[in-house]
Amino acid sequence: MALIELKNITKQYENDGVITPVLSEVSLSIEEGEFVSFMGPSGSGKSTLMHILGFLDRLSGGKYFFRNEDVSSLSKDELAKHRSKDVGFVFQSFNLLAKSSVLENVMLPLVYSEVPKAERIKKATKALEAVDLGHRLNHLSNQLSGGERQRVAIARALVNEPKVIFADEPTGNLDTKSGEAVLKIFQDLNKQGHTLVMVTHESEAAEHADRIVRIRDGKIVSDSKDHVKRTGSFYK
């Protein structure tokens, strides 16, 4: 059973009567445990596609099945439930609270759950240890390097034990060494069984995934595992 299955989805935006198509007849299947890169130039529709898959946006047409459930027409509240329970996000800009500790940032997705505080601390600590930041629990996020802040964001995405992690240009604000470290973490998480979907315009980053889906002008132009897979070095 596919974790994600899209059937001829479309997405368009309307502003003052002007319709702008973004995605056109996109069909795609992603299995549990895959590491997939969406690659394409700016404006190709790759981030919009990820936002639809991650329940941040709604499609205009077609069908979206998540774990065999048709989620194409869910309400905003139902989409929010899927976001909190089933997916984790890593963004280019980190989106951390500057004056909160590393531990508090990672615990944030659990705050509105019924998980007791002691269990929230335990889960957040485990997630931080998974990205080699167990020694930084009480530091403020603005005291960390860019690479460390992105690793905190990855830990935050992991803390709810999601079905899939979405990463939107996760190395875009990082230097080469920090970017390789983040990509190595993604590869390690994938080896542990996590499903990852990464959006990037950088071929060097995309080639760390097992599968590269190339998008141009709102359409999939290629979908291949036929590439030399890169392995980044992990720098501490």
The phi, psi pair for 203, rounded to 5°, reads -65, -35
- Whether 158 shows a pLDDT value over 80: the answer reads yes
Average pLDDT along the chain? 92
**So what's the pLDDT on residue 111?**
82
| Residue carrying the six token digits 């069908």 | 63
Q: What percent of the chain has pLDDT over 90?
A: 81
- Whether 236 shows a pLDDT value over 60: the answer reads no
Q: State the pLDDT confidence band at 232, using cuts at 50, 70 and 90.
A: low
Tell me if 106 is assigned to some domain: yes
What's at 72, amino acid-wise? S
Tell me if 92 is assigned to some domain: yes
What's at 38, amino acid-wise? F
Tell me if 20 is assigned to some domain: no
Taking residues 57-79, report their average pLDDT: 94
Taking residues 37-50, report their average pLDDT: 94
**Distance between CA 181 and CA 177 in Å, rounded?**
6
**So what's the pLDDT on residue 231?**
79
Alpha helices in the chain (DSSP H): 46-53, 76-86, 102-107, 117-130, 146-158, 176-191, 203-206
Tell me if 172 is assigned to some domain: yes
The CATH number of residue 213's host domain is 3.40.50.300
DSSP state of 228: -
Tell me if 110 is assigned to some domain: yes
**Distance between CA 31 and CA 197 in Å, rounded?**
11
pLDDT tens digits, one per residue of 93-152: 889 998 899 999 999 998 877 789 999 999 999 999 999 999 999 999 989 999 999 999
Taking residues 5-10, report their average pLDDT: 97
Q: Could you give the C-alpha distances from 78 to 58, 75, 109, in angstroms and in order?
A: 12, 5, 17
Written as six digits, the tokens of 215 are 């998008």
**So what's the pLDDT on residue 224?**
92
CA 98 to chain centre: 21
Tell me if 19 is assigned to some domain: no
Which residue range forms the structural domain that includes residue 202?
Answer: 32-55+75-231
Q: Name residue 164's beta-bridge partners.
A: 87, 195
Tell me if 5 is assigned to some domain: no
Into how many domains does the chain fold? 1
**So what's the pLDDT on residue 31?**
96
pLDDT tens digits, one per residue of 166-198: 999 999 889 999 999 999 999 999 999 999 999
Cβ(107)–Cβ(159) below 8 Å: yes
The phi, psi pair for 65, rounded to 5°, reads -110, 125
Cβ(201)–Cβ(40) below 8 Å: yes
Q: Could you give the C-alpha distances from 8 to 5, 24, 88, 146, in angstroms and in order?
A: 10, 7, 25, 38
- Whether 230 shows a pLDDT value over 90: the answer reads no
**So what's the pLDDT on residue 235?**
45
The phi, psi pair for 6, rounded to 5°, reads -110, 140
Tell me if 146 is assigned to some domain: yes
